[in-house]
């Protein structure tokens, strides 16, 4: 009986030790860590991955221990509920780190709009609480996720080379302004109206240019009536000055008007010249007899 009483304390100690070891092993297994080696750009200069950094920021607003568990296939990190929503979880800085934690585990993440559904106050591009000592927040965590509507890995990697934040937040926390739907519609309507007015002005300019060219071409043409006049053109004479003069009407001869006198007299033809035609010679009696009796020879006739 004594031996059995002595065995119970030893057995209880062994069981307690095993339980503590199991709890420690379980806590190590449920801690999310990055498994994708290509996401080393998401680490801070202290070699802390985004899962570790997000855990430390979440613990700022949590009275109890805060833990981010690893994601299984097909699971995502949900946004805060109405019960556990606080200023740390409703910060876009915390959302970016949690999304980077999911991405480096090769898992998906939800959009910023859906994540902040249960947040009464939104803290955009700022972490409202004091940053815990022993950690540095990468520059990409302060990206404006409202512009893209979600965490963008490409943009985050591009901004990862920026300065890190430590200690108190440098920006003042303020609720995220929510753009109204009406302003977007007005902006779109203004853009459409401007495009329509610009198109009308362009068409009017083209039409005006075409009309101007047609009128110019029409004015350069000469009407046939202007070129030739009515009927046939009268002949004109060309004087020594190079100008064209109308034909003059000839004057009739007037003995009292010297201007009508002829300028020279023509020489009458000389009949004494021999005829250019030769008379045919008389070769026989068959030819007609030429009567020379009528011709004057210069001798006295009887």
Output the pTM of the full model: 0.49
Q: Which residue has the higher pLDDT, 184 or 196?
A: 196
Please, is 115 exposed, middle or buried when counting C-beta atoms within 10 Å of its C-beta (0-12, 13-18, 19+)?
buried
Mean pLDDT of the chain: 74
Beta bridge pairs of residue 245:
237
Is residue 131 within 8 A of residue 90, CB to CB? The reply is no
pLDDT at residue number 252: 73
SS3 11: helix
pLDDT at residue number 221: 59
The residues near 143 (Cβ < 8 Å, ≥ 6 apart) are 92, 96, 125, 152, 155, 156, 159
Beta bridge pairs of residue 237:
245
Average confidence (pLDDT) over 186-209: 83
pLDDT at residue number 187: 52
Q: Which residue bears the tokens 């007015």?
A: 197
pLDDT at residue number 258: 77
Q: What is the pLDDT of residues 227-264, one digit of tens each?
A: 444 444 444 444 444 444 455 566 677 777 777 776 65
pLDDT at residue number 138: 96
Is residue 64 within 8 A of residue 84, CB to CB? The reply is no
- H or E stretch covering 32: none
Query: How much helix, strand and coil, in percent to the nearest 5, is found in the chain?
Result: 40, 5, 55
Q: What is the pLDDT of residues 80-128, one digit of tens each?
A: 999 999 999 999 999 999 999 999 999 999 999 999 999 999 999 999 9
pLDDT at residue number 65: 86
């Amino acid at each position: 009986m004594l031996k059995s009483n002595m065995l119970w304390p030893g057995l209880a100690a062994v069981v307690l030790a095993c339980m503590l070891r199991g709890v420690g092993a379980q806590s190590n297994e449920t801690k999310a860590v990055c498994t994708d080696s290509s996401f080393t750009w998401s680490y801070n200069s202290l070699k802390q991955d985004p899962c570790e950094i997000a855990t430390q920021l979440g613990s700022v607003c949590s009275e109890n221990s805060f833990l981010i568990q690893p994601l299984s296939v097909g699971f995502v990190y949900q946004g805060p509920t109405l019960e556990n929503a606080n200023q740390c979880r409703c910060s876009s800085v915390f959302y970016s780190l949690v999304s980077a934690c999911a991405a480096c585990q090769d898992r998906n993440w939800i959009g910023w709009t859906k994540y902040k559904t249960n947040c009464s106050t939104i803290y955009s591009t700022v972490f409202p609480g004091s940053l815990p000592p022993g950690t540095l927040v990468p520059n990409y965590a302060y990206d404006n996720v409202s512009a893209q509507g979600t965490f963008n890995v490409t943009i985050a990697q591009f901004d990862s080379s920026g300065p890190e934040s430590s200690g108190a937040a440098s920006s003042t926390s303020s609720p995220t302004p929510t753009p109204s739907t009406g302003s977007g519609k007005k902006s779109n309507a203004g853009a459409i109206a401007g495009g329509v007015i610009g198109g009308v002005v362009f068409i009017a300019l083209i039409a005006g240019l075409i009309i101007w060219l047609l009128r110019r071409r029409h004015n350069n043409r000469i009407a046939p009536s202007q070129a030739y006049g009515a009927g046939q053109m009268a002949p004109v004479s060309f004087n020594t000055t190079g100008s064209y003069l109308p034909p003059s009407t000839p004057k009739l001869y007037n003995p009292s008007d010297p201007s009508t006198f002829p300028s020279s007299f023509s020489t009458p033809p000389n009949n004494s010249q021999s005829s250019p035609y030769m008379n045919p010679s008389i070769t026989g009696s068959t030819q007609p007899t030429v009567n020379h009796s009528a011709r004057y020879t210069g001798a006295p006739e009887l």
